Structures are given as C-alpha cells and as structure tokens.
Amino acid sequence: MSDVPSAASELMIDKTLLVHDVTLREVLQKLRPLLEPPPPQPKPEIGFDVKEDAVLYRAGRRHNPARSRMT
C-alpha cells in the first residue's frame, strides 16, 4: 500500500514539473532578446562639414584699360 501513495505523488510531482518547465521556457524566450547586447552605435565623424554653395574660382589676368591703349 505504500507504493500507491508514492506513485500518485510522483505523478503529481511530474505534472507540476512539466507545468513549471513550460513556464520557465516561456519566460526564457521572452528574456532572451533583452539579455543580448545592444547593436553597436555608429561612431561620430571627426571634423566638421562646411555647408555652402560651390564658388567658381578663376585666376586670370585683369583687364587694364590703360594698357590696351598703349599698344
């Protein structure tokens, strides 16, 4: 007779462990993304950017009206 209560208690323990096992798996699945390290953030660029329109630079001779009369 001592075997019957132990078999019933073992069955109840197995059912309880199965319920807890399923619950723990669900909790771990939800916690896993939170435990991963965050993605690396992009490093800031060193220096500065100048935001202005492009300027046309030219090196040329200036027109001198006095010179043109001499020739």
Q: What's the start-to-end Cα distance of the chain, in Å?
A: 135
User: How far is residue 32's CA from residue 28's CA, in Å, rounded to a whole number?
Assistant: 6
Q: Give the global pTM.
A: 0.42
pLDDT value of position 9: 87
Q: Tokens 């492009």, residue?
A: 54
- pLDDT, tens digit only, all 71 positions of the chain: 455 668 888 889 988 988 999 999 999 999 999 999 988 999 888 887 777 777 777 776 666 666 666 55
pLDDT value of position 49: 76
- Residues in the chain, total: 71
pLDDT value of position 52: 79
